[in-house]
A and B are shown apart, each in its own frame.
Chain A
Amino acid sequence: MFDIERWQEIFDTIRKNKLRTVLTGISVASGIFILVILLGFGQGMQNGIAQEFEEDASNRIGVWTQVTTKEFKGLNPGRPIRLRNENYDYIEDKYADELEYKSPNFRVFNASINYKKESGAYSVQGISPEYQQIENEFITKGRFLNYKDHQSVSKVAVISNKIHRELLLNEEDPIGRELKIADLSFKIIGVYGDKGGEREEDRIYIPLSTGQRVFNGGDSLNMMFFTLKPAATFEKTLAESIKFTDEIKTYLKQSHTVAPDDMSAINTFNTLENVQRFMNLIGGIKFFFWFVGVCTIIAGIVGVSNIMLIIVKERTREIGIRKALGAKPWSIVGMILHEAIFVTAVSGFAGLIFSMGLLELIGPNVEVDYVVNPSIDFNIAITTVLLLIFAGTLAGFFPAWRAAKIKPIVALKEE
């Protein structure tokens, strides 16, 4: 390997067989190039999908109710079920250790809202302070609701950027201004934005206690929201959240005297199950790109092997001459493999550097839905190059060994 004479001999051969060298090089380099770009975009799609799901807290569990559909313990179907504060308090109390964020929700759709001479209809939601984390709202001005607002039944409201623009006409200092909700004055204490965009900004938040009192809700709730503390692995988190959902469903059915097999009275949704679906999708996409990548590598290996076979065949006569002049079999094998490894390595790394450079350059600038920052793990890329070199060597070895074993007179007769 470090024999300078051998290196000189090989460079001579390469210099004088440019076409052969260039063809081998291109096939290796393009194989690596295609693989890296493919895997890069696979990663990009994964990043893109992951980003789409960061917008809402991804382990949100919601509970809402409808009318019963089954007769149970002498009660007729068609009976409306209402969630109560006591239900929420019970769950909050019982699962205090497991819950991360929780909030009840009492809402009025299309409440008429007035500010000075402007008016509009928005959804007004009575919630607890942790609703901010559940909906992933961020505060742009002022503050969100707190427990003091809840306890003192304050008439305070948090409005969205969109409402600030539409109703307050971009009032420069909205904090502390008075807003009329159902003809009652509310003080604006904060402005929020939602990562999901303006379609999620049609809501005005007020304390739950205030909402229930203003809209004559008594102790009834429309919805309850929970998020669970994440467990060590995604699978565990998912299992726990499914268990939690089942348990609260059973509890609510019992406390509201609903038939255990009534599928419609108590409803829940669990965003984690969606996340699971998307995780599977990402897995599928990843597998697909790997599959295509592996096929590309196999095609590359077959190509390199073919070229090696042809090269050895073409050089059979030369091998005969060299043997007649005193070349030992191993020096023949060494010469052919040395050249093969050198050419595959140089072109393999050239393809690698070129494709990774391209990904680095255009990767961060890609602005397509579901594709974000395509990139590739350097170790994987290096491994594929080494794999290709190894395969090329192996593919070259057997014909080279056979050629080196041929008797010189047979090789010399080869045309």
Chain B
Amino acid sequence: MIEIKNLHKSYKMGKNSLHVLKGIDFSVEEGELVAIMGSSGSGKSTLLNILGMLDELDEGTYTLDGVPIKNLNETKAANYRNKFLGFIFQSFNLINYKSAAENVALPLYYQRVSRKERQEKALKYLEQVGLKQWATHLPSELSGGQKQRVAIARAMAAEPKVLLADEPTGALDSTTSYEVMDLIQKINDQGNTILVVTHEEDIAHMCKRIVHLKDGVIVEDKKVEQVRAAQYV
């Protein structure tokens, strides 16, 4: 599903250049649930941004579902993001003047899905995350965990190939975190490919594979016994 070879990325900070990713080789199969771990500054968020086509790579190759991702202009990147990827952010990133259902329906708007179908799909995915009765509420009327579940429903709505989650539990307390992870595990059980960036050990162990990043290189890549989040809920 994801194939990365010899990935380099550096940021220019004035005259100095900060080399963040120093040659990453990495691949993900369909249906995997991968945790990307590392301390802050290890390059894990940069990696995720490149995977998500939110940022551009300097060197190396990136293939997503057999499509080489290179020389993207804004329009093409937008198309691929819309077709291939769903994002889950630490700070939820819901649009605050739109209701839960409208937020979930937004990626479908950019897929040029008709209004009626959008509404139906939005309700369907809200039901999956258990928030159907909250469909008309604004994000400001929802708790943190609920917001993240709406964000997950939104990421799912476009039916992407890969879900990318950047610290999805970073802004949540542990109980809520486990609820969100439970949801992510269930989505994975349906066969979806999910990448989760985290620095929390227990969250990482709820995935099926842990990739450890340190100073821009992968230092460890191992399969783990998945801890089901449901038992903590």
Residues of A within 8 A of B (CB): 5, 8-9, 12-13, 16-17, 317-318, 320-331, 404-405, 407-409, 412
Min CB distance B75 to A, Å, is: 5
Nearest CB of B to A22, in Å:
15
* A13 contacts across to B, CB distance below 8 A: 97
- Among B74, B75, B81, B97, the residue within 8 A (CB) of A325 is B81
Give the residues from 27 to 86 in chain B that come closer than 8 angstroms, CB to CB, to chain A.
49, 52, 54-55, 74-75, 78-79, 81-83
Roughly how many angstroms separate A315 CA and B52 CA in the complex, as a whole number? 22
Given contacts A5-B109, A324-B52, A407-B54, contact A329 B83 (CB under 8 A): no
Task: Say yes or no: B109 contacts A318, CB within 8 Å.
Answer: no
Q: A13-B97, A405-B74 are in contact. Are A325 and B54 (CB under 8 A)?
A: no
Q: List residues of chain B with CB within 8 A of the CB of A405.
A: 74
Q: Across the interface, do B78 and A412 meet the contact criterion of CB distance under 8 Å?
A: no
Apart from A16-B98, A325-B82, 19 more pairs, CB < 8 Å: A5-B115, A8-B115, A12-B98, A318-B95, A321-B94, A322-B106, A324-B54, A324-B81, A325-B81, A325-B106, A325-B107, A326-B82, A326-B110, A326-B111, A328-B74, A328-B110, A330-B75, A331-B110, A409-B54
Contacts of B75 in A (CB 8 A): 328-330
**Nearest neighbor of B80 in chain A, beta-carbon distance:** A326
Tell whether B178 is near chain A: CB-to-CB under 8 Å: no
CB within 8 Å for A409 and B55 given contacts A12-B98, A326-B158, A328-B78: yes
A-B contact pairs, 9 of them (CB 8 A): A8-B115, A12-B98, A317-B93, A324-B87, A325-B87, A325-B107, A326-B111, A329-B74, A409-B55
- Residue B125, interface by CB 8 Å: no
Shortest distance in angstroms between B159's beta carbon and chain A's nearest beta carbon? 12
Interface size classification for chain B: 20 to 34
Instruction: Name which residue of chain A comes closest to B83, CB basis.
Output: A326
B115 x A412 contact (CB < 8 A)? no
When C-beta atoms are compared, the residue in chain A nearest to B154 turns out to be A325
- The listed residue with most A CB atoms (<10 A of its CB), out of B49, B52, B102, B110, is B110
C-alpha gap A161/B36 in the complex (Å): 107
Chain B residues with CB under 8 Å of A321's CB are 93-95
Which residue of B has the minimal Cβ distance to A320?
B93
A174 to B208, CA, bound (A): 121
A406 to chain B, nearest CB (A): 10
- Option from A12, A326, A404, A407 in Cβ contact (under 8 Å) with B81: A326
Instruction: Tell whether, in the assembled complex, residue B98 and residue A328 are in contact, meaning their CB atoms are under 8 Å apart.
Output: no
B residues at A contact (CB < 8 Å): 49, 52, 54-55, 74-75, 78-79, 81-83, 87, 89, 93-95, 97-98, 102, 106-107, 109-112, 114-115, 154, 158
Report yes or no: B110 in contact with A327, Cβ–Cβ below 8 A: yes
| Distance between A8 CB and nearest chain B CB, rounded to angstroms | 6
Shortest beta-carbon distance, A315 to chain B, in Å?
9
Q: Which residue of B lies closest to A318 (CB)?
A: B95
- Cβ–Cβ < 8 Å partners of A409 in chain B: 49, 54-55
A8 to B112, CA, bound (A): 13
Give bound CA distance, A327 to B110, whole Å: 6
Q: Smallest CB–CB gap between A20 and chain B, Å? A: 10
Q: Please give the distance in Å from A408's CB to the nearest CB on chain B.
A: 5
Which residue of chain B has the shortest Cβ distance to A409 in the bound complex? B54
Q: By the criterion CB–CB under 8 Å, are A5 and B112 in contact? A: yes
**Most chain A CB within a 10 A radius of its CB, from B78, B98, B109, B110:** B78
Distance (whole angstroms) from the CB of A409 to the closest CB of chain B: 5
Q: Which residues does chain A contribute within 8 Å of B97, judged by CB atoms?
A: 13, 16-17
> Which A residues are CB-close (under 8 A) to B110?
322, 325-328, 331
Q: Nearest CB to that of B84 among chain A residues? A: A326
What residues on A are CB-neighbors of B93 within 8 Å?
317, 320-321, 324, 412
| Nearest-neighbor residue (CB-CB) of A327 within chain B | B110
Shortest beta-carbon distance, A140 to chain B, in Å? 74
**Chain B residue with Cβ nearest A17:** B97
How far does the alpha carbon of A9 sit from the alpha carbon of B83 in the complex, in Å? 21
Cβ distance A336 to chain B, nearest Cβ, rounded Å = 14
Chain A residue numbers with a CB within 8 Å of B102 are 12
CB neighbours (8 Å) of B74 from chain A are: 328-329, 404-405
B87 nearest CB across to chain A (Å): 5
